[in-house]
Structure 1
């Protein structure tokens, strides 16, 4: 096991901040970041996902070496989720589901560059995007292989899990994701998922 992942917690409510920090401290694979070294992952805890919360997310990410972000909110609607992903969030959890184990899992996934969403929320996003799609898959810009990989990325699977499930090599999966991000000029995996959902590709 490597060094614990340094994590910071940001919340508009100090009670939420204290509770989130307490939950993270129960996981030996993460630690609260020191002021000197900075966090690798920031957990933003909020009641809702509105303009103030998205502004906080963008501010957290607007630094020379931006940390990955896990957003924990009381409620997550599909549209709010898309905005959060587009703003740079790598993981999203509903507060009622964010027990210490799930929260730590989302933080560790974000530190690895993976994106985590609640499965039922992913289904809602997929249904939402399909209803908005105006072009066939091929015309939208993703082939079947790319969509299969991106769906599993959106579901929070690691590269090795995607490779095993789809019978690809891990390098192939990495190449597919890289090609998608380069083709559409996207920042990272989370941005690729958000872009594909908003464009009706997934």
Structure 2
């Protein structure tokens, strides 16, 4: 018999944390544990997907045992979902739609390497990408808060170009290119230019 998936719950509200753990305890395929017990999956319960939440997702994924993350939020728009996925969330759920079986399904999917996203939210993500193909409609990069200049620079970084080559290609100064990359990494709390490209690739934006 397969061992249950070990899952921990993190929430700023102790009541939400207790309620989420209680919901999971009724599902035999998963076993709630503490963060110190090396969970396979961590469920993060929040109100909105803001920078501190994205930082929490990154820290959780970067911890020694690297658990998968399922993010449960009260509000979850497509642009926020893109950020969450890019920072390492494997599952996304809205709190009002989440019960024990649905949360357990997302946890099991994350543990198995799959990604669980509400169908309407998935449609929204696909629409963002489809809109990016039309020049007269803002694309997913725009939804993520990137300008045309930032997008152009990151695409050339993804192609392996050096800073001076990017400057020549786009007719910018080297300082301008450096500033653009610095602004992107600071805004999205990324470590460096390679992390910026990885962020874009994981979110399906490049």
Which bin holds the TM-score, normalised by the shorter protein? 0.5 to 0.7
Distance 1:90 1:104, change over 3 A: same
> SS at 2:93's partner residue?
strand
Moved over 6 A (4+): none
Q: Does 1:13 align with 2:21?
A: no
Which of these two proteins has the greater Rg computed from alpha carbons? 2
> What residue is the counterpart of 1:2 in the other structure?
2
Q: TM-score, normalised by structure 1?
A: 0.66
State the shift of 1:53 in Å. Answer: 1.0
1:78-93 correspondence runs (5 A): 78-93=78-93
State the shift of 1:90 in Å. Answer: 0.5
> What residue is the counterpart of 2:41 in the other structure?
41
State the shift of 1:63 in Å. Answer: 1.6
> SS at 2:49's partner residue?
coil
- Matched residues in 1 for 2:68 and 2:48: separation? 19
Q: Give the RMSD, CA atoms, in angstroms.
A: 2.2
> What residue is the counterpart of 2:106 in the other structure?
106
- Matched residues in 1 for 2:109 and 2:126: separation? 21
Point out where structure 1 has 5 or more consecutive residues left out of the alignment: 136-184
State the shift of 1:195 in Å. Answer: 3.0
1:70-81 correspondence runs (5 A): 70-81=70-81
> SS at 1:96's partner residue?
helix
